[in-house]
Amino acid sequence: MKTTPWTKEQDELLTKMYSSATYEEMVTVLNHSYSSIRHRAWGVLKLKRPFASGSKCGNWKGGKSFTSSGYILIRVPGHPGQNSSGYVFEHIIIWEKANNSLLPKGMVIHHINGVETDNRIENLQAMTKSEHCKLHSSRKRQPVLRERIAKLEAEIKELRLEIGLLKFGKPSSLVESR
């Protein structure tokens, strides 16, 4: 298509069509290319197309989403614990249904086996935020502490050998003479 200047009538028609017509329809009616229509609408007229949301959106996955850390989110508009997009953690919804009540303020749901996607009710446990923090900080530190203990024990053993002591604190000269 040849680039032609926009007329006032075309601007008015574009303004009327932009929110509901497809780009193909606008290309045909306005006799301008897709990129020309988009540039005119966004850059000059500052028009915005309404975004499709929910089931009308091309990326709709049935109201189920995943966080970057692996938790499952379910769309539940109106839930007191929803995020800004209307989603709630699936494990909270499952716990609330099983207990027939909302999760009390200050409480969190813990996955007993540590698998964030295992939302079986027998794997979910409500606890205070502070209990949850203590539980996870001790679990995270255990391997580090075990590793540190093993290193220190090895150092102790080396030091005992260096100063001539063995396992029971006897000088090495006594052990060698036997």
Report residue 178's pLDDT band, with 50, 70 and 90 as the boundaries.
very low
The per-residue pLDDT for 48 is 77
Regarding pTM above 0.85, the answer is: no
Region 14-30: what's the mean pLDDT?
A: 86
CA–CA gap between residue 36 and residue 29 (Å, rounded): 13
- Specify the pLDDT at position 71: 93
pLDDT band at 44 (very low <50, low <70, confident <90, very high): confident
Contact 26, 13 (CB under 8 A): no
**Could you tell me the CA-to-CA distances from 13 to 6, 41, 86, 164, 177 in Å, in that order?**
11, 11, 36, 97, 107
12 touches 42 (CB < 8 A): no
- How is residue 42 written in tokens? 């966004």
Residues 6+ apart with CB under 8 A from 74: 63, 64, 87, 88, 89, 90, 93
* pLDDT tens column, 68-88: 888 999 999 899 999 988 999
pLDDT of residue 168: 56
